[in-house]
Structures are given as C-alpha cells and as structure tokens.
Amino acid sequence: MNPTPATTSEAFVTGDLGRPLNRPLTLAILGAGARGAAYADLAAGRPEAARVTAVAEPRERVRHAFAARHRIAPEFRFTHWRDLLARPRLADVAVIAVQDAEHAAAATALAERGYQLLLEKPMATNEADCEAIAEAARRNGTALAVCHVMRYTPYTVKLKHLLAEGAIGDIVSLQHLEPIGHYHFAHSFVRGNWRREDESSSLLLAKSCHDIDWIAAVVGRRVVRVGSFGSLTHFRREAAPEGATDRCVTCPLQDSCAYSATTLYRAGLRHAGTKRYFTRIVTAGELTERALTAALTDGPYGRCVYHSDNDVPDHQVVNLEFEGGVTASFTLTAFTPLENRHTKIFGTRGQLTGDGRHIEVFDFRTETRTVLDTSLDGSSAAEGHAGGDEAMFNAFLDALHTGRPELIVSGIDASLAGHRVVFAAERARRTGTVVEL
C-alpha cells in the first residue's frame, strides 16, 4: 500500500516551481473514469516521478477497483472531490477528471487549497468560469496545465518544427477536419454524458476545444474574427426508421442499424481496441455479457439514437480570421469512420498535408513531395491520442519534478485564449453573426 501522504501543506510543491524535487510527486485523482484512470496508469509507469496517493470517485465499485490497483490507503479514498476540502492538503497535484460542469468549482477550490492542477478539457462550461479558474491559479501561483494533448504529440512537434523552418513559407490559410466517427458520436454525444448542453456543454467545447486550441497554436497568431454554423440534423425522432423502438435490445432493426448499441458494445466484448474502450465505459469495467445486457436494458447507452434526449449538433463548421489576414476553416462531424484528423496548411511556398501521423510537404519550386512518418497512429482517447496523453502527462510531471515549468505548453494563458474562441464561435452560430475578439 502507498505510504500515507503528508498532512501539512509545507510538505508539498508550492508556487516556487523552479526547484527540482528529490522525491516523487503525489497525485490525487478526482474522477476515476476513463481519463482519470489513464493518467493514473501513466503515473504508475513512472514511480520515480509520481505516485497516486488519493482518489475521489462516486461509483463505489469503480473507486474500490481503482484504489486497489494503485494501492491507495482506505482513509484516502473519497466519494466526492469536495471531501478533500475537509482535510489538510493531501497531495502535490490534483488531477481533475470529473464531469465538465464541476471543473470550475473543483479547480478554483483546489487552487485556493494549494494544489497544483492538471485539468481535463474543457476548462469549464462557460467563459466566466474559465476566467475564474485562471484568476484562482494566478492568485495562488498554481501550476495549471489543461489537457490539450494535441499540442504535445510527436506529430504536432514535428509539424510545428517544419513550419518554423519555412518548409511551406508563410501560412496563408488552413483547413482542419475532426472526423468524430459515427459510433463514437452515438456513444458520447447521443447516448452519453455530453449529449445535452444543459448537462455538460456545447459540442464544440466538449469535443473540439482541442482542435481550436491546436489550430491557434499552429498558426501562432491571435484570432480576431469568428463565424460558425451547425445543427442537429440526424439524431432526432423524425429520422427514426419505421419500426424502431426506444431501446436497441427490443428493436427489430438492431442487426441492421448503423448505430445499434447491441452491435457496438457486444463487439467490444469480443475484440480489443476502441470498441472495447467504449464497452468498458458502458459496463463500468465489467466485461461480461450479463453486465452488458443489464446496461443496455436499463442504462442510457441502450437507448435508440433516434429516441434519446440529446440536443447538441451533429455537425458544425467554424471559420477563423487571425491577425495579419490568415484564415482557417474547421469542420467537425459525426458522419465519418473513426479515424485521424485531417489537415491542410497552405503556404506561400508550398502545402503541408497531415493526418495525425503522416506529414506530406509539397514544394512549389521543385514540385516534389516529401512524406514524413511520425511513427504513432491512433488519435482516439482509447489509443492515447497518438502519443499526446503520455507526452502531455510526462511534460507536466517533468515540469514540476525537475523544476522546468516551461515544459507546460498548455498553461493558463494559451488555454484561456483558445476557450474564448470556442465561446465566440458558439455565439456566432446561435446569432448568425460574425463575432469580433
């Protein structure tokens, strides 16, 4: 079992982040779902740099399984993240992987208590709360990293290096597509936790603040104007095929429907990979036919995609104008295979095309194409976001453990700026206007 955490704040990392530590960082994981568990497992792979010493998770079975896996003492297993506020500070870092609507309350309260913060995206579900988190972090000297993992992938590092070297001259415009994937969208945004804006946030914020942040990081300029369009067109009662029932387990179309829950999640029982990742979420980790049948019969993931209570768009476009006249267009859509993002960057001397792993540079002068392989594939969460999860987490650990805060490239100011663009895009979509920043 892990040693008992220290009980006085003086024992933990404070605002002076320039000094290396001679011990592992201690982590409290708030939310032991898919993201919290992924970061805890990454910490377990670096015992010299970090160890998980506390967990807050409302689901009893998930909490106990997580605590057993990471050998967390019973007195440091909590039902809710607020339970930590009743105790002296318990760790160097709070990893905030609770539901989006709780991010603001958790981040501000824990910053005030002295915790360093690793915060899942989005920062919060509205602009005022994002500002409040940033202010609390600045006021308390908190090392805050937002989990914009796309900034950290080997692919992104190489792509930015090529641009900085002038491989295509000056950037003039950019196209970027996020192909969410038909069954991923049905899982998360029709049946799942992010299906309703009043319970989570907008689709653009929940799914693609990553991408808006990434586009801004690649262009390297400030966004000055934003426009956006999008709506919920398909996953509605009006689009239900004749004979469809409220639940897939009773539906005569379950074997022919492209969005069948029984087909998707039973495939996850049989095969490893992305579908198993989603099946684990549905069954809270119990990969048995009994657990899955119970979940599909009574739980949210067994609902027909045409008879759910979802309201977020299933497709959206965002157009951006940057300082200096550079433009970018971004599309997210449910109606794709589950595959890597696609990007084209148009420069004054060439074109760069990327898919999250491969980068092709076309040179206008020589009319030659150079293809580079960054050697990591798999952009989904189940596959570690093409190395981004590990790279981001390691950068955060190294920043605090070795006294190099500059390793955090998704800090307060950069993340807040990207979130402001997302909120502006949503205002533009709802009002049919172009929003100036």
- What is the total count of domains within the chain? 3
Bridge partners, 27 (sequence order): 52, 93
Does position 294 have pLDDT exceeding 70, yes or no?
yes
* Count of beta carbons in the 10 Å neighbourhood of residue 350: 22
Does position 130 have pLDDT exceeding 70, yes or no?
yes
User: For the purposes of burial, counting CB atoms within 10 Å of the CB of 41, is it exposed (0-12), middle (13-18) or buried (19 or more)?
Assistant: middle
Of 84, 113, 142, the residue at which a domain comes to its end is 142
Helical (H) or strand (E) element with 104: helix 103-112
The region, left, alpha or beta by phi > 0 then psi within -120 to 50, assigned to residue 329 is beta
Q: Verify that 265 and 322 share a domain, yes or no.
A: no
Query: Which ranges constitute the DSSP H helices of 261-341?
Result: 261-270, 274-283, 289-298
Domain membership flag for residue 2: no
Q: Verify that 31 and 113 share a domain, yes or no.
A: yes
Domain membership flag for residue 404: no
pTM: 0.90
Terminal alpha carbon distance of the chain = 51
Q: Verify that 163 and 187 share a domain, yes or no.
A: yes
Confidence band for 388, pLDDT divided at 50, 70 and 90: confident
Q: Verify that 331 and 200 share a domain, yes or no.
A: yes
Q: Verify that 105 and 197 share a domain, yes or no.
A: no
Q: Verify that 250 and 376 share a domain, yes or no.
A: no
Domain membership flag for residue 295: yes
Q: Verify that 166 and 270 share a domain, yes or no.
A: no
The token duo for 205 is: 């914020």
- Whichever domain contains 207, its CATH number is 3.30.360.10
Confidence band for 387, pLDDT divided at 50, 70 and 90: confident
At residue 20, the pLDDT reads: 85
The token duo for 111 is: 């910053």
Domain membership flag for residue 180: yes
Of 252, 281, 302, the residue at which a domain comes to its end is 302
Domain membership flag for residue 393: no
Domain membership flag for residue 403: no
Q: Verify that 176 and 315 share a domain, yes or no.
A: yes
Q: Verify that 346 and 428 share a domain, yes or no.
A: yes
Q: What is the DSSP letter of 371?
A: E
pLDDT digits (tens, 9 = 90+) for 240-254: 999 999 999 999 999
Domain membership flag for residue 368: yes
Q: Cite the beta strand spans of 195-299 per DSSP E.
A: 223-231
pLDDT digits (tens, 9 = 90+) for 319-346: 999 999 999 999 999 999 999 999 999 9
Q: Verify that 245 and 224 share a domain, yes or no.
A: no
Domain membership flag for residue 392: no
Q: What is the Cβ-side half-sphere exposure of residue 430, based on CA atoms within 13 angstroms?
A: 9
Helical (H) or strand (E) element with 94: strand 93-96
Q: Verify that 326 and 220 share a domain, yes or no.
A: yes
Helical (H) or strand (E) element with 342: strand 342-347
At residue 6, the pLDDT reads: 44
At residue 383, the pLDDT reads: 47
Domain that holds residue 270: 238-302
Question: Rounded mean pLDDT of 93-104?
Answer: 95
Question: Rounded mean pLDDT of 137-150?
Answer: 94
Bridge partners, 225 (sequence order): 321, 436
- Contact call for residues 276 and 287 (beta carbons, < 8 A): yes
Does position 32 have pLDDT exceeding 70, yes or no?
yes
Q: Verify that 318 and 370 share a domain, yes or no.
A: yes
Closest CA to 335 of 239, 218, 265: 239
| Distances 230 to 307, 317, 376, 425, 428 between C-alpha atoms, Å | 21, 6, 32, 11, 10
Of 142, 163, 182, the residue at which a domain comes to its end is 142
- Whichever domain contains 123, its CATH number is 3.40.50.720
